[in-house]
Amino acid sequence: MFTAAALQSDSKPEQYAELAEQARGLLHGERDRIANAANFAALVYNALPGLNWAGFYFFDGTELVVGPFQGQPACVRIALDKGVCGAAASTRQTQVVLDVHAFPGHIACDAASRSEIVVPLVVDGNLLGVFDVDSPELARFDEDDRVGMERLAAIFLQSLRAE
């Protein structure tokens, strides 16, 4: 049984390195997308400080539909031209939003959210969905988080295709 360990470092790059190792261990040997998404969201949500939501939206061919997550109940469907999630999905670029109130079209699922990072999930050129993380703190996410979250998202995607 996998046991999540508290992060040992105060440095963000080191925290993400520790978390990457835990994510690999947690997802090892399982390829089911829902199972791995659920455990991955729970790992990130419980490991990193200052979060109020962490989870997935999967692309159904038309729009984004909420998947496994931790946090308050969320909006179910997001069009690709709506919100931070839609922006990440349609541009296929990670969105780091320091102040969600200043982001045109931001969708407030939890009124407590103040900043957000959304990583697009692309497999063989096809949009699988996005990984979305919210914080009640203003400017919670920076370049270290972008690099770290993209690395974590890659580990999730790799788990789906591992032999």
Stretch that binds ligand SME, among 12-20, 34-42, 109-117, 152-160 (CB under 6 A): 109-117
Stretch that binds ligand SME, among 23-31, 82-90, 121-129, 145-153 (CB under 6 A): 82-90
Residues 89-108 that bind ligand SME (CB under 6 A): 106-107
Closer Cβ to ligand SME, 134 or 145, answer by number: 134
Helices (H) and strands (E) in the chain, counts: 4, 6
Q: Which of 19, 78, 127, 152 lies at the binding interface for ligand SME (CB under 6 A)?
A: 78
Q: Which of 16, 53, 59, 141 lies at the binding interface for ligand SME (CB under 6 A)?
A: 53
CA dihedral defined by 163, 31, 7, 54, rounded to 10 degrees? 150
Residues 12-31 that bind ligand SME (CB under 6 A): none
Q: Is 134 near ligand SME (CB under 6 A)?
A: yes
Question: Strands, E, within the chain: which ranges?
Answer: 53-59, 64-71, 77-78, 95-97, 115-123, 126-135
- Chain centroid to CA 121: 9
Query: Which tokens in the block code for residue 56?
Result: 């997935």
β-bridge mates for residue 116, sequence order: 97, 134
Q: Which of 44, 51, 56, 83 lies at the binding interface for ligand SME (CB under 6 A)?
A: 83
Closer Cβ to ligand SME, 113 or 159, answer by number: 113
Provide CB contacts within 8 A for 61, sequence distance 6+: none
DSSP assignment of 140-158 equals ---HHHHHHHHHHHHHHHH
Residues binding ligand SME (CB under 6 A): 53, 74-75, 78, 83-85, 106-107, 109, 113, 116, 132, 134
